[in-house]
Structure 1
Amino acid sequence: MTFFEEINEESLSGVAYKNITLKKSIISYFVKNGNCTIADLCATVGLSAPKINTILNELINDGLVQDLGKIESRGGRKPNLYGLVLGSGFFLGVDVKQNHLNMGIIDLEKNIVHTSLERPFNLQNNNESLSELYHVINQYIKESRVPKDKILGMGLNLSGRINHASGYSYSFFNFDEEPLSKKLERNLGMRVFLENDSRAMAYGEYSAGIVGEEKDILFINMDYGLGVGIVIEGQLYYGKSGFAGEFGHIPSFNNEIMCRCGKKGCLETEVSGLALTRIFKEKLTSGSTSILSEMDINDINFEHIINAALNDDVLAIEEIASMGEKLGRGIAVLINIFNPELVILGGSLGETGEHIRLPIKSALNKYSLSLVNNDTKIRMSKLGKQSGVIGACFLVRNRLLSTN
């Protein structure tokens, strides 16, 4: 059995389990430290040179590791240097949005080798949409020219309630007892890990984005819905059932607007892409003007409003500012509770930049405790549309190479 087969086999035990764990440790060492000798690996892994040599030969036969030849030494026999084979293994990330997919592939050394952003896809909670998801992902893999048999695994993000440990999605494609991750594995032919989109975006920014030395972070995902990814002491926080971060469903308003969760008065009913679209259309119907006024009102969507704001449309800017003030009050609650080092503003609404950041910052100064707020930095997402893709790639890589 090759490494590619072993890493996707969940029922390994005994000697086979120890063997794959050792291989993961060695590959992780290469990723972190670069090329090394058998002596270097012995010192780290704590096994004999003959055992390390045997494992290295198996990884060489699998095409993952290469012998780079002898190196100079201060005395005695010259040791051989080993390293990863470039392009020997990859990880796929898929970030599912309301009307498109963002996809990308990284290699073992965490380099981004291919991306495809805003690939058209209509997310609906039915079997037709799920079948289309299989098709678009397979088509992307073909277009990327990355050999499918070298993709070690895929991370897929969805909004809503995701249990990453069991592979269940409770908001989309939960049609029977089989976990969504297993459906995807069966139809795509690779190991699949599910994640909530806000958490994946938070991890993307933490791993390769705007985060510096900070370890306690909140990522506010301002999209069609409203979610938060929570990082505490450098680790994603999931909560008891894996559903932490449902920021949009905090009961915040005394209104009669039905939320997608089935309850009324949620923060998301007045602070989200769906809410912005509804309110913007109501304003147009009542006589307000906009550069979108010439469009059929039924065709106007969230993205149109964002683009209008970026083109200095007064109505779009005003409604985004009003939403930012309400959102700032909600974030103030989070800051008072978590006292984070950093709050990152991301998602589609984050593309409006200062139009959303300034009213949020103003509300934070007004509603959060000053002693707490003074220690919290507010930054816009650095990775933008790629944050979820990069987070998904890094998470699936970490999970597949984990030796725990």
Structure 2
Amino acid sequence: MNATNTFFEELENENISGVAYKNLDLKKKTIGHFANIGNATIADLCKELNASAPKVTTLINDLIKEGLVKDYGKIDSTGGRRPNLYGLASESGFFLGVEVRKYHVSIGLLDFKKNLVKVTEKIPYRLFNTMDSLDELCSIIQKFINEQPISKDKILGMGINLSGRVNFATGYNYNSFYFSNDEPLSKIMESKVGIKTLIENDSRAMAYGEYCSGSVGEEKNVLFVNLDYGIGMGILINGQLYYGKSGYSGEFGHIPFFNNEILCHCGKKGCLETEASGDALLKLFIKKIEEGSSSIAMRNKKLEEIRLDDILQAAINDDVLAIELLEQIGEKIGRGVALLINLFNPEMVVLGGMIASTGNYIQLPIKSALNKYSLSLVNNDTQLTISTLGAKAGIVGASLLARNMTLSIG
């Protein structure tokens, strides 16, 4: 193989073998160590890679020449010559995270060292399962890219979050932009935007973002419950996202929880989502207003203009109706989370998504239901917390997953 091939060219070469393959593997492990653990000395890397100092030094020098790794100078030593500290060069590459919602899109740009350098939230957009809607999404992404002070070729990968049944391995989303069996959405987006693309379920991406850069500390077994218009879940077992056999794990909102005749958008009746989701909250709110209740969410708005955001903001501003309705759905969500705790016995349950932005207004009724319905011996070992990344969780998660895909690290 030509010695001038870059790390990324080597990654794309399916025919690489022998010594070149071993060198590439060591480079991937080196970059993976920097990405997941942090800066390190040559001695640290020798232990991690089980390789000699001359070999590691050569690999580091190659990566420095490519601009992927940086020498951060000497560190203090207890004796002898002070070693140099090496790590990723933050400006050498960037990754896009795109969060696609029902009524808006949020986009973030992450650098090589996991710093979120630019975020634009809640760009107006309406998600429909049409080619026109997909073209509009691509235009929004392209506009964001064009506004950045870096060249497009420095954006090495893009992660896009969508709700529903998403298979990241195949690149298909069977709920949105599923036009044919011929070409996966990831490839369609890649050809339209011109950046290597990963498609992921929004709840799993949010879970990964929170795990890597949010409220999760040393915990390895974590459930992330995404409370939005629907209810989703991301599962982390031993620090790894759990996908299930077909890649569709986490359909928490579609547990047949209630004995009702309410038809869920999935086509079934009695799903948890039918009475304990953002959609359910919105329907309850409209019903109460029609019956004569009042709310500050209705200021300068017609009933048909009300969105979930309006109700949540009203609750944050101490609106009695919004708070009472949150308490109602919170108790039902809590019963569902109690079931999860009894099944998984996780170290932590993180509440995220739009509804979690109300903080104690949703957390307290959920906590009360957990105390009532989950086994105390199991519940006592589980922390219940609110996402610290909030609306940025999915952006960060998608960017990191795109980074892992591009660098072939995990």
Q: What TM-score, normalized by structure 2, do the two folds share? A: 0.89
1:182 aligns with 2:191: no
Contact 2:10 2:16 in 1 (8 A): no
Shift of the alpha carbon at 1:199? 1.1
1:229 aligns with 2:234: yes
Letter in 2 for 1:189: G
Partner residue of 2:287?
282
Contact 2:262 2:270 in 1 (8 A): yes
When structure 1 is superposed on structure 2, of 318-327 and 11-20 the one drifting more is: 11-20
In structure 1, what is the Cα distance between the partners aligned to 2:283 and 2:406?
Answer: 42
Contact 2:41 2:83 in 1 (8 A): no
Among 356, 364, 372, the alignment partner of 2:378 is 372
Contact 1:30 1:36 in 2 (8 A): no
In structure 1, what is the Cα distance between the partners aligned to 2:380 and 2:259?
Answer: 31
Contact 1:224 1:302 in 2 (8 A): yes
Partner secondary structure for residue 118 of structure 2: strand
Q: 1:402 to 1:71 in 2, by over 3 A?
A: same
In structure 1, what is the Cα distance between the partners aligned to 2:358 and 2:84?
Answer: 54
Deviations 1:337-365 (A, max 9, x none): 11112111111001111111111111111
Shift of the alpha carbon at 1:226? 0.3
Deviations 1:285-343 (A, max 9, x none): 12212223452111111111111111211111111111111111111111111111211
Q: 1:10 to 1:237 in 2, by over 3 A?
A: farther
In structure 1, what is the Cα distance between the partners aligned to 2:21 and 2:263?
Answer: 50
Q: Considering only aligned residues, what root-mean-square deviation do their CA atoms show, in Å?
A: 2.7
Partner residue of 1:128?
132
Q: 1:81 to 1:210 in 2, by over 3 A?
A: closer
Shift of the alpha carbon at 1:249? 0.6
Give matches, 1:320-335, under 5 Å.
320-335=326-341
Among 143, 149, 164, the alignment partner of 1:160 is 164
1:344 aligns with 2:350: yes
Partner residue of 2:305?
299
Partner residue of 2:17?
14
In structure 1, what is the Cα distance between the partners aligned to 2:394 and 2:53?
Answer: 41
Shift of the alpha carbon at 1:264? 1.6
1:353 aligns with 2:356: no
Partner secondary structure for residue 160 of structure 1: coil
Give matches, 1:95-114, under 5 Å.
95-114=99-118
Among 86, 89, 92, the alignment partner of 1:88 is 92
Partner residue of 2:174?
170
Partner secondary structure for residue 63 of structure 1: coil
1:198 aligns with 2:235: no
Letter in 1 for 2:321: L
Among 311, 318, 322, the alignment partner of 1:316 is 322
Contact 1:4 1:152 in 2 (8 A): no
Contact 2:225 2:352 in 1 (8 A): yes
Q: 1:70 to 1:161 in 2, by over 3 A?
A: closer
Contact 1:222 1:348 in 2 (8 A): yes
When structure 1 is superposed on structure 2, of 342-351 and 250-259 the one drifting more is: 250-259
Q: 1:18 to 1:150 in 2, by over 3 A?
A: farther
Partner secondary structure for residue 288 of structure 1: coil
Contact 2:6 2:66 in 1 (8 A): yes
When structure 1 is superposed on structure 2, of 80-89 and 153-162 the one drifting more is: 80-89
Partner secondary structure for residue 248 of structure 2: coil
Deviations 1:211-263 (A, max 9, x none): 12222211110001101111122221111111111011111222222211111
Q: 1:19 to 1:170 in 2, by over 3 A?
A: farther
1:139 aligns with 2:118: no
Shift of the alpha carbon at 1:53? 5.9
Deviations 1:61-103 (A, max 9, x none): 4332456899999889x99876544401122211211111222
Q: 1:255 to 1:351 in 2, by over 3 A?
A: same
Letter in 2 for 1:254: N
Deviations 1:136-175 (A, max 9, x none): 1111122232322112211111111111111111111111
Partner residue of 2:277?
272
Contact 1:21 1:403 in 2 (8 A): no
Q: 1:212 to 1:45 in 2, by over 3 A?
A: closer
In structure 2, what is the Cα distance between the partners aligned to 1:178 and 1:62?
Answer: 34
Contact 2:32 2:409 in 1 (8 A): no
Letter in 1 for 2:244: G
In structure 2, what is the Cα distance between the partners aligned to 1:69 and 1:327?
Answer: 51
